[in-house]
Amino acid sequence: MRHIFTPFLFLLCAGTTFNAAAQQHERVSRFTLGGYGEAVMQRMFYSDNVARYTNPSAYKDKGHGRFDLPHVVIYTSYDFGRGWKVSTEIEFEHGGTGTTYEIENEETGEYETEVEKGGEVALEQFWIEKSWSESVNVRVGHVVVPVGLTNQYHMPTDFFTVTRPEEESAILPCTWHETGVSVHGRSGKWHYEAQFIAGLDAERFNNANWIQGGSTSPYEFSIATSYAGAFRVDYYPGPGARLALSGYHGNSAKNSLKPERYEKIQGAVTIGAFDVVYNRHHVLLRASALYGHLGDSHAISTVNKRLPSASPSPRTDVASDVVSGYVEAGYDLLSFVPRAYTGDKLYVYAHYGLYDSMFKVARGLTDKPWSQKRLFSVGANYFPLEGVVVKAEYATRRFRAPYNNEPTFSVGIAYSGIFKL
C-alpha cells in the first residue's frame, strides 16, 4: 500500500512546493528596484577662482578640470496591494561624503575628525501612496516638487546636456524635494499634481542662485512655520507631444531657527513655468520658460547680510525677480542608415538658454552684471540601448563685458532604469 500511495504523495508535495514558489514569486514581484547614475569628465577653459568676476582681467585664459559623479540614485518601491505602495529614493551627489575619526600622532595625540571627501547623501523621496483609481492618488511623505522641466524630468536620459540644464538648476532647488502631501492622477490626455508642502528658508537665499539653497535644511529637521503649495498640469495633445504648466507659492521668511529676525516679513516666493516636449519622426525637442518673484526681497537681503558668520546663510543681496529659459533640439542620425543594433540612437543636438539670477532688484540693492548668463552648447547623445547614454558636449557660458566667457568640454556616461523583480 505504501508503494501505491507514493506517487500521490509525490504529486501532493510537488504541488505544495509549486504553490509555495508561486506565492513567493508573487510576493517578490511586488518589489521594484531602479535608479540612475552619471559619470562625467569636464575641462573648463576658464578660471574657477572666486575673484574672477570682481577682477576679470586677472583670471583670463586660465583653466581647470574635473571628474565627477554628479548623481547616483537608488530607487525602491513595494506594492502592498489594495492600492497601497511605499517608495524611497536615496541620492549620492558627487560620490557621497566621507569622514574619519583618528588620533593625530604628530601633534598632541588628540582625536581629530578628518573630511575624506566632499559630496552629499540625501533621501530624495520617501512616500506612502494610496491609489483609488488612475485619476485619484494621494502621496504622503517626502516628494519631488514638479516645478519646471528639469525637476519633473531630472534623470540623465531626460536631457541632452552632460549635466542638468543650468538655466533651471542654478536658480531652483534641483532635484527639489520637500515633505508634504501630494494628490495626482491622470484622465484622458491630462495629468495633474497638486502639493501642500513645507515652505522655503529665506536665510539660505543668495544673489547667484536665488532660492536654490532654501529647500536644504542644515538642521536635523526642516522648519515649516510657513507652508507652500505647488502644482503641475501636463497635456498630451498627440503622439510624442506634451505641454505643461507648473507653479509654486509660499512664504519663506519665518522658516528660520530665529524667525524673530524676520518680524513683519513674509518673503512670499511665487514661480510660474511652462515647458514643452516633442519626440516624433526622429526629432526630439525640449523647451522651458520660467519666471520667479520674491516678495520683501529688500528686507530679507538686509537681515541676511547682518547675520553672524556662523549662520549657514550666504549673507548676500537677493533679487526680487528672476527669469530663465532654454530650448534644445536633436535629430537621430541613425535614422538615415541601417542599424546594427535594434533601438540604438545617435542624436546630434544644439542647446540655447539664458537666465538671470538678479533680473530685477529692489531699490537700494546692488545688481550684479555677471548674474545675466547666456548658454550655448552643441553635442551628441548615443543610446546603444534604451536607458544607457554616452554624451559629448562643447558649451560656453557667455557674459557681457568685461567678464570672460566660460567654455567647457564635457563627456559623460549615464543610465536610468526601473526593474521589476
pLDDT in single tens digits along all 421 residues of the chain: 444 444 433 333 444 444 444 444 454 568 999 999 999 999 999 998 888 998 898 888 789 999 999 999 999 999 999 999 999 999 999 887 766 555 554 445 555 656 666 778 888 899 999 999 999 999 999 999 999 999 999 999 999 999 999 999 999 999 999 999 999 999 999 999 999 999 999 999 999 999 999 998 777 788 889 999 999 999 999 999 999 999 999 999 999 888 888 989 999 999 999 999 999 999 999 999 999 999 999 999 999 999 998 888 899 999 999 999 999 999 999 998 876 667 799 999 999 999 999 999 999 998 899 999 999 999 999 999 989 999 999 999 999 989 999 999 999 999 999 887 6
CB neighbours (10 Å) of residue 402? 12
Q: 289: buried, middle or exposed (CB in 10 Å: 19+, 13-18, 0-12)?
A: middle
- Quick one: pLDDT at residue 6? 45
Phi/psi of residue 15, nearest 5 degrees: -65, -40
Q: How do residues 220-270 score in pLDDT, each as one tens digit?
A: 788 889 999 999 999 999 999 999 999 999 999 999 888 888 989 999 999
Please check whether residue 391 is in contact with residue 379, taking contact to mean a CB–CB distance below 8 angstroms: yes
pLDDT (0 to 100) of residue 113: 59
pLDDT (0 to 100) of residue 112: 60
Helix (H, G, I), strand (E, B) or coil at 262: helix
**pLDDT at 11 (0 to 100):** 36
Q: Among 178, 125, 184, 185, which residue's Cα sits nearest to residue 155? A: 125
Identify the pLDDT of residue 5.
42
- pLDDT, residue 340, reads 62
DSSP 312-354: SS------SEEEEEEEEEEEEGGGGS--SSTT-EEEEEEEEEE
Convert the pLDDT of each residue in 80-120 to its tens digit: 999 999 999 999 998 877 665 555 544 455 556 566 667 78
CA pair distance 157, 383, nearest whole angstrom: 9
Chain-centre distance for alpha carbon 372: 22
Task: Give me the residue label for grid cell 517626502.
Answer: 142
Neighbours of 334 (CB within 10 A): 17
Which CATH class name applies to 130-420?
mainly beta
What is the model's pLDDT at position 222? 81
Quick one: three-class SS letters along 74-138?
EEEEEEEECCEEEEEEEEEECCCCEEEEEECCCCCCCEEEEEEECCEEEEEEEEEEEEEECCEEE
Quick one: DSSP state of residue 371?
Answer: G
Contact 143, 126 (CB under 8 A): no
